[in-house]
A and B are shown apart, each in its own frame.
Chain A
């Protein structure tokens, strides 16, 4: 069985849905947005998630995790998409913990992964430097100093920046700005001298940040793994992270779609339910079909992560591309089929389209991944 959930996984899904529908709903997100608070999510709710083992769900048992694999994490992310629940599951777990696992020395892994599983340590990734995802295009420089490195550069779109104490900064230690080689990952404290951070709320009402690094001094021990060789681990992490983003997009799109179908069943015009109009019925049925394909791809990709499949890069790009395409269609149609009320902030459907576009953007959108998928397919 690779594409269906087993009993344990079904229980996890139901438990997650139950928890989130009470503790981390769209109304919570709205309240957080309207309170102008600094934190991107509720710390109390996150601690409860940690208690349930979510922080270490994909981390192996040796490092304090649950060892449920990425299918487990994917199930959680899908549910956070349904409820639009804010949490650091992408930034700290799906991304940072994976990168530490891919690049870190045994000692680094032992130290940091255990803490992440236990909820006492949160790191986020500083990768992107320009408007769009170009992972090898890194200008942030790290120059060798006696006993360490000196970092200068800038990063944008750093997820949950204000909740994390450490930033994994991808910097160039050699080569030119488009090279895959010559990249190094550094663990940098967000309070280090020379670092300045700016909170950049995005359209999805979550918290992101920009960082400027000006001659930030770090020690040799801040290097995650080895100097100059971060690319392979980074690339593998991005594949996994994109599948995680796709899992959230799946939950989000299905929820937006189900709300829309419900509206079609309830709203009357011309003396009939609008859902009886074939012009809308067929569009809804097509989205249903596309969502079924999306579910299969997400499960296939999550399974491939857990199997260590060679096809992972191809599947990651396929899955992210497909989910971007369908999420865009489902959320656009959701607004259109709701008519005027869909445009109002009071009504909830608008939150889905906003979250979708940010998830679509992070680590490469439809255009990026369809292109990469074709390249990996040999054309």
Chain B
């Protein structure tokens, strides 16, 4: 216990010296997270300063082993670090698919050389990764993907198309699902490869979202090259890795369900007024807010419970399979309420008065939460089949 307190003290004073002022303010919307990369788009120079300082201590990914660029911290120490960051409102220094998705999968399936080569640059925010899973004809039915990888000696030649590839235009490398064999069932013959996006055989075309931003792309491969040493796992055995990675992606996305902004109740009282008993004067809206808030509280409690179950060695409980579904549906409900409570001010698209349309843009972006990483319907299929054991037709 005492050691942990020494650690806490250390963390606190280090943070107070090293966390730039502007990094102690909440991120402004979805696109204000820092994700690093070879040539990152820098909104505010403090982002890079903050990331570099944290990376030096391994604290961009505090729970990974030190030899891979992490902090090597125990889960208690990670908790302390998070608490201390939270206390001063410090942002996470680095948010990336490398940290939330590729890293966990590599730690489980990659060789030591592969880990040593690829993980440290992720921790330092030097290489930014994108996810090449979906194709025009392989969305929910991901395993039917057709992008081909042809054996060409020490490397594969990749041909085909990916779509909805988030940040492909800003990323340096891609972790990509490719078909190395089409003779068996659709789940067989899929391989998990890593390759550089900066090469002649790769073309990306940004696609504009309903929220106005262009975070994802169409990605074309025309004889793109992937070195064989960058094949993770065995040839044709990529589906297991792909699914493992998806559980991390879903956990990350479901976290959106627990984001806490200003209380909707307070905002609704300022907008609609209250009656003599202190109730929001519009009873219908009040009920919807109460239902949302209650479910959000129950959802957070469920996240905590499952966390405790894991710590207690009871394994990842059945509850975890509902996180992606429930968390994203909750986030959509919250965003709809933001609109209902904000009224005119929430519908603005541009201009200072509307904070450049942040409420409306976040609301629109939230619609994607129940699509990306596997749709809500797909999550319900998984719960029905794998958890409840309901039969297939």
Q: A: which residues have CB within 8 A of B?
A: 1-4, 261, 264-265, 272-273, 275-278, 280-282, 284-286, 288-289, 292-297, 299-300, 318, 321-322, 370-371, 373-375, 377-379
Q: Are A276 and B392 touching (Cβ within 8 A)?
A: yes
Given contacts A293-B295, A318-B297, A374-B287, 15 further A-B pairs with CB under 8 A are A1-B311, A2-B308, A3-B308, A4-B305, A272-B393, A275-B384, A276-B392, A281-B388, A285-B379, A285-B381, A289-B326, A292-B302, A295-B305, A296-B319, A318-B298
Q: Is B210 an interface residue (CB 8 A)?
A: no
Question: What 9 pairs between A and B have smallest CB-CB spacing?
Answer: A379-B265, A281-B384, A3-B305, A296-B301, A285-B383, A293-B298, A289-B322, A275-B390, A374-B290
Once bound together, how far apart are the Cα atoms of A296 and B319, in whole Å? 10
Contact B389 A265 (CB under 8 A): yes
Instruction: Please give, as numbers and ranges, the residues of chain B lying within 8 Å of A294 by CB-CB distance.
Output: 298
CA distance A371 to B319 in the complex (A): 28
Q: Report B-chain residues with C-beta under 8 Å of the C-beta of A2.
A: 304, 308
Q: How far is the CB of B66 from chain A (nearest CB, A)?
A: 29
How many angstroms from the CA of A65 to the CA of B299 in the assembled complex?
34
Q: Which residues of A contact B388 (CB under 8 A)?
A: 261, 275, 281, 284-285, 288
Docked Cα-Cα span, A373 to B387, in Å, equals 32
CB distance from A116 to the nearest CB of B (A): 32
Q: B24-32, B48-56, B276-284: which one contacts chain A? A: B276-284
**A295-B305, A379-B286 are known contacts. Are A276 and B393 too (CB-CB below 8 A)?**
yes
Minimum CB distance partner of A2 in chain B = B308
Can you list 28 A-B contacts (CB < 8 A)?
Answer: A2-B308, A3-B305, A261-B389, A272-B391, A272-B393, A275-B384, A275-B391, A276-B393, A277-B393, A281-B384, A282-B377, A282-B381, A285-B322, A285-B325, A285-B387, A288-B322, A288-B388, A289-B326, A289-B383, A292-B302, A296-B305, A297-B301, A300-B301, A370-B290, A370-B291, A374-B280, A377-B293, A379-B265
Q: Which A residues are CB-close (under 8 A) to B383? A: 285, 288-289
Q: Which residues of A contact B312 (CB under 8 A)?
A: 1, 4
Q: Please, how many residues of chain B have a CB less than 8 angstroms from a CB on the other chain?
A: 49
Cβ–Cβ contact B381 & A278, under 8 A: yes
B268 within 8 A of A: yes
C-alpha gap A281/B392 in the complex (Å)? 10
With a cutoff of 8 Å between Cβ atoms, the chain B residues found around residue A292 in the complex are: 302, 318-319, 322
- Give CA–CA (A277, B269) in the complex, Å: 44
- CB of A252 to closest CB in B, whole Å: 18
Question: B384 touching A282 by the CB < 8 A rule?
Answer: yes
Report the minimal beta-carbon distance from B392 to chain A, rounded to whole angstroms: 6
The reply to whether the CB of B185 lies closer than 8 angstroms to some CB of chain A is: no
Q: B286: which A residues are within 8 A, CB to CB?
A: 374, 379
Task: Note all chain A residues with C-beta closer than 8 A to B263.
Answer: 377-379
**Could you say which residues of chain B place their CB within 8 Å of the CB of A284?**
384, 388, 390
CB within 8 Å for A374 and B265 given contacts A265-B389, A284-B388, A293-B301: yes
User: Once the chains bind, are A289 and B325 in contact (CB under 8 Å)?
Assistant: yes
Judged by DSSP, the binding face of B is helix
Are A375 and B384 within 8 A (Cβ)? no
Which positions in B face A, CB cutoff 8 Å? 263, 265-266, 268-269, 274, 277-280, 286-287, 289-291, 293-295, 297-299, 301-302, 304-305, 308-309, 311-312, 314, 318-319, 322, 325-326, 377, 379-381, 383-385, 387-393
In the bound complex, how far is the Cα of B148 from the Cα of A155, in angstroms?
A: 77
Query: Shortest beta-carbon distance, A256 to chain B, in Å?
Result: 14
Q: In the complex the two chains form, is A379's CB within 8 Å of B280's CB?
A: yes
Cβ–Cβ < 8 Å partners of B380 in chain A: 281-282, 285-286
Number of A-B residue pairs having CB atoms within 8 Å of each other in the complex: 141
What CA separation (Å) do A292 and B383 show in the bound complex? 12
CA distance A299 to B388 in the complex (A): 23
CA distance A176 to B326 in the complex (A): 46
| Chain A binding surface SS class | helix
Question: CA separation between A12 and B20, bound complex, in Å?
Answer: 52
Residue from the list B278, B295, B304, B384 in contact with A285, Cβ < 8 A:
B384
Contact of A293 among B266, B274, B326, B385 (CB under 8 A): B326
Q: Is the CB of B390 within 8 A of A281?
A: yes
Given contacts A272-B393, A285-B384, A374-B279, whether A379 and B294 have CB atoms under 8 Å apart is: no
In the docked arrangement, what's the CA distance between A282 and B381, Å? 7
Which of A1, A265, A318 has the most chain B CB atoms inside 10 A of its CB?
Answer: A318
Option from A278, A293, A375, A378 in Cβ contact (under 8 Å) with B302:
A293
Contact of A299 with B305 in the complex, beta carbons under 8 Å: yes
- B325 contacts which chain A residues (CB < 8 A)? 285, 289
* Complex alpha-carbon distance, A277 and B312, angstroms: 37
* Whole-angstrom CA separation of A284 from B274 in the bound complex: 39
Residue of A nearest to B298 (CB): A293
Residues in B with CB closer than 8 Å to A378 are: 263, 265-266, 278
Residue of A nearest to B382 (CB): A285
Residues in chain B near residue A261, CB distance under 8 A: 388-390
Which B-chain residue is minimally distant from A319 (CB atoms)? B298
| Chain A hits for B301, CB < 8 A | 3, 293, 296-297, 299-300
Q: How far is the CB of A338 from chain B (nearest CB, A)?
A: 15
Which residue of chain A has its CB nearest to the CB of B274? A379
A278 to B390, CA, bound (A): 10
Please indicate the chain B residues that have their CB under 8 angstroms from the CB of A318 in the complex: 294, 297-298
Partner of A373, one of B290, B318, B326, B389: B290
CA distance A312 to B302 in the complex (A): 18
Most B C-beta atoms less than 10 A away, residue of A272, A276, A281, A378: A281
State A379–B298 Cα separation when bound (angstroms).
19
Give the distance to chain A from B237, nearest Cβ to Cβ, in Å.
29
Determine how close the nearest CB of chain B comes to the CB of A174; give it in whole angstroms.
Answer: 23
Asked whether A370 lies within 8 Å of B294 as measured between CB atoms, the reply is yes
Q: Given that A289-B325, A377-B265, A379-B268 are contacting pairs, would A264 and B390 also be in contact in the complex, using a CB cutoff of 8 Å?
A: yes
Say whether B294 contacts A321, CB under 8 Å.
Answer: yes
- B298/A322 in contact, CB under 8 A: yes
In the complex, residue of chain B having the shortest beta-carbon distance to the beta carbon of A258: B388
Complex-state Cα separation, A275 to B263, whole angstroms: 41
Q: Are B387 and A288 neighbours in the complex by a CB distance under 8 Å?
A: yes
A300 to B298, CA, bound (A): 9
Q: Would you give the shortest CB distance from B18 to chain A, in whole angstroms?
A: 33
Which of A264, A278, A296, A321 gathers most chain B CB within 10 Å?
A: A296
How far apart are the CA atoms of A370 and B286 in the complex, in Å?
10
Complex CA gap A59/B377 in Å reads 47
Do B309 and A4 have beta carbons less than 8 Å apart? yes
B27 to chain A, nearest CB (A): 26
Q: Which residue of A lies closest to B299 (CB)?
A: A293
CA distance A261 to B326 in the complex (A): 20
